[in-house]
Amino acid sequence: MIGFIGLGIMGSRMAANLLKAGFEVTVYNRSKDKAEELLNKGAKWAESPKEAAEKSDVLFTMLANPSVVEAVSLGEEGFLDSLKEGKLWVDCSTVDPSFSRRMANESEKRHLRFLDAPVSGSKLPAENAELIFLVGGSGEDLEEVRPMMEAMGKSIVHQGSHGMGSSMKLVINLMLGQTMAVFAEAVSFGEAIGLERGTVVETLLGGITTAPFLKGKKNKVLEHDFAPEFPLEHLQKDLQLVSQTAFENNTAMPIVNVTKEIYALAKQQGWSKEDFSVIYRLFSEKK
Element (H, E) at 45: strand 44-45
Instruction: Please state the separation of Cα 241 from the chain's center in Å.
Output: 15
Angle, in degrees to the nearest 10, between helices 197-205 and 164-192: 140
Nearer to a second copy, 55 or 218 (CB): 218
Please, which residue, 54 or 233, has the CB nearer to a second copy? 233
228 contacts: CB under 8 Å, gap ≥ 6: 273, 274, 275
- Count CA atoms within 13 Å of residue 83 on its CB side: 30
Cα distance between residue 127 and residue 9, in whole Å = 9
Nearer to a second copy, 42 or 160 (CB): 160
* φ/ψ of residue 39, rounded to 5: -60, -40
- Least Å distance, CB 90 to a second copy, is 18
Q: What is d(CA 126, CA 219) in angstroms, rounded to the nearest whole number?
A: 21
- Distance linking the first and last C-alpha atoms of the chain: 60
How far is the C-alpha of 206 from the C-alpha of 25, rounded, in Å?
41
| Least spacing, CB of residue 29 vs a second copy, in Å | 27
For a second copy, give the closer residue by CB, 86 or 207. 207
Please report how close the Cβ of residue 180 comes to a second copy at its closest, in angstroms. 9
Least distance in angstroms from the C-beta of 2 to a second copy: 25
Q: Looking at beta carbons only, is 39 or 171 nearer to a second copy?
A: 171
What whole-number distance in Å separates Cα of residue 217 and Cα of residue 153? Answer: 23
Catalytic residues: 169
Min dist CB 66 to a second copy, Å, is: 17
